[in-house]
Amino acid sequence: MMSRRSVLTIAGVVSGLVVLAVLRYQSLQKPRPHTEETYHEAPTAGRQTLTVAFLPVTCHLTCPVTDYASKTSTTGTQFDAMRFGEFPPIVEALKTKKLLAGFITVPLAMKMREQGVPIRICCLGHRDGSQLTIRKENPAKSLRDLVGKTIAIPSPFSNENFFITKLMRTQGVKPDEIMFVVLPPPDMPAALSAKAIDGFIVAEPFCGKAEMDGYGRVLYYAKDIWPNYISCCLVVHEDLIRDQPEVVRDLVRGIVASGEWAQKNRTDAARLVSPYFGQNEKLLEFVLTQPADRVTFIHLDPTDEEIQRIMDMGLELGLLKQRTPLSDLLDRSFLASDIGPATIDLSRMKDVLRPVTP
């Protein structure tokens, strides 16, 4: 299990992995600067707009789907999905109110709220979808077989950290028996391929990338260790909730409807989000279908028990310092029970999506 202190200490190991500076260019199509990202065209006259932050991971897939759905509609709020490469810039943008909504991990949302940042969890973006991936030639059959190895995680404030902690406790692996390092998710496949690390635990499609390229295999699916596993959520600044509740209502409805659509249209979802993610369509189709329940996009209303369980683990690990009342953390008022699948017309992709001309 990983405390904040141990993670930060161990993370220093990464600085010694000079090879990663080169391998960054071989990793999974690392997100480009925002000035070079896909530009989304749609009429804006008379409509409110909102920018929503996301990472190019399947945990956040409902964000670009909602972007597209809003831009092929003439009513409601128009959403602009802004792609980031890692969580710290999203956190900073939310703190400074440069952005008022975005996708982050549940433990990170708890930490921000503990620090006084007025954000609320309004819904989830997915369930399941994180895996522990190791090198293909490694014969390991359990976590105990990885004692003495180096495993990468995306952040101490990630549910992947909590997932691996749960697995270590179940199998009796001590905190100091596995070395952990913190790496940005896009760098993990290249680090594994170069044997700079022995494995990584992260959201898709990076695990699928290692599988498809032939140097990695999944040792554990989160869904098999932690049923209905939760990683990321949609957070919204309280200023937006107070001043423009209709925009938040459109956003939450859009995310849930996008999840209902993606759950039933996985191949089409891969095609749609590929340009938003800057990732190969075949890779996204693989992680959305092999197996079909590798990641799910329904049941996006977390229970109090689920959120409390995550908070309890954060307190145990010393990552959280105080227990935040769930009434201060969650806002379910925008969730409705009658939300059906979004209406997605892929024939309009060329009209809505086009690359920026430098």
Q: Confidence class of residue 355 from pLDDT cuts 50, 70 and 90?
A: low
Q: Whole domain around residue 18: which residue ranges?
A: 4-29+130-225
Last residue of a domain, one of 225, 256, 289: 225
Question: Is residue 85 included in any domain, yes or no?
Answer: yes
Q: Note whether 248 and 328 are same-domain residues.
A: yes
Question: Is residue 356 included in any domain, yes or no?
Answer: no
What per-residue confidence (pLDDT) applies to 45?
55
The CA distance from 326 to 308, in Å, is 8
What per-residue confidence (pLDDT) applies to 281?
97
Q: Note whether 123 and 244 are same-domain residues.
A: yes
Mean pLDDT of 307-330: 96
Q: Note whether 24 and 137 are same-domain residues.
A: yes
Contact 83, 277 (CB under 8 A): yes
Q: Confidence class of residue 34 from pLDDT cuts 50, 70 and 90?
A: very low
Q: Confidence class of residue 85 from pLDDT cuts 50, 70 and 90?
A: confident
Q: Note whether 302 and 193 are same-domain residues.
A: no
User: Is the CA virtual torsion 292, 297, 303, 304 positive or negative?
Assistant: positive
Contacts of 79 by beta carbon, 8 Å cutoff, 6+ apart: 49, 50, 51, 52, 66, 67, 70, 71, 250, 251, 254
Q: Note whether 345 and 241 are same-domain residues.
A: yes
Question: Does residue 24 have a pLDDT over 70?
Answer: no
Residue 319 belongs to domain with CATH number: 3.40.190.10
Mean pLDDT of 324-350: 95
Q: For the segment 299-312, what is each residue's pLDDT rounded down to a tens digit?
A: 999 999 999 999 99
Question: Is residue 357 included in any domain, yes or no?
Answer: no
Last residue of a domain, one of 193, 225, 257: 225
Looking at residue 21, its amino acid is A
Q: Note whether 173 and 297 are same-domain residues.
A: no
Mean pLDDT of 263-269: 98
Q: Note whether 235 and 88 are same-domain residues.
A: yes
Question: Is residue 113 included in any domain, yes or no?
Answer: yes
Question: Does residue 39 have a pLDDT over 60?
Answer: no
Token representation of residue 169: 């406790």
Q: Note whether 239 and 343 are same-domain residues.
A: yes
Q: Note whether 105 and 240 are same-domain residues.
A: yes
Question: Does residue 106 have a pLDDT over 50?
Answer: yes
Give the pTM: 0.86
Number of residues in the chain: 358
Question: Is residue 206 included in any domain, yes or no?
Answer: yes
Q: Note whether 236 and 324 are same-domain residues.
A: yes
Mean pLDDT of 287-300: 95
Percent of the chain residues past pLDDT 90, beyond the cut: 82
Q: Note whether 342 and 236 are same-domain residues.
A: yes
What per-residue confidence (pLDDT) applies to 5?
41
Mean pLDDT of 189-215: 97
Q: Note whether 82 and 170 are same-domain residues.
A: no
What per-residue confidence (pLDDT) applies to 32?
41
Q: For the segment 162-179, what is each residue's pLDDT rounded down to a tens digit?
A: 999 999 999 999 999 999
Question: Does residue 313 have a pLDDT over 80?
Answer: yes
What per-residue confidence (pLDDT) applies to 74?
85
The stretches of 24-97 forming alpha helices (DSSP H) are 62-71, 87-95
Question: Is residue 358 included in any domain, yes or no?
Answer: no
The count of structural domains within the chain is: 2
Q: For the segment 86-97, what is each residue's pLDDT rounded down to a tens digit?
A: 899 999 999 999
Last residue of a domain, one of 225, 252, 286: 225
What per-residue confidence (pLDDT) applies to 47?
85
The CA distance from 168 to 175, in Å, is 8
Question: Does residue 109 have a pLDDT over 90?
Answer: yes
Question: Does residue 180 have a pLDDT over 50?
Answer: yes
Question: Is residue 187 included in any domain, yes or no?
Answer: yes
Question: Is residue 75 included in any domain, yes or no?
Answer: yes
Residue 58's SS3 state is helix
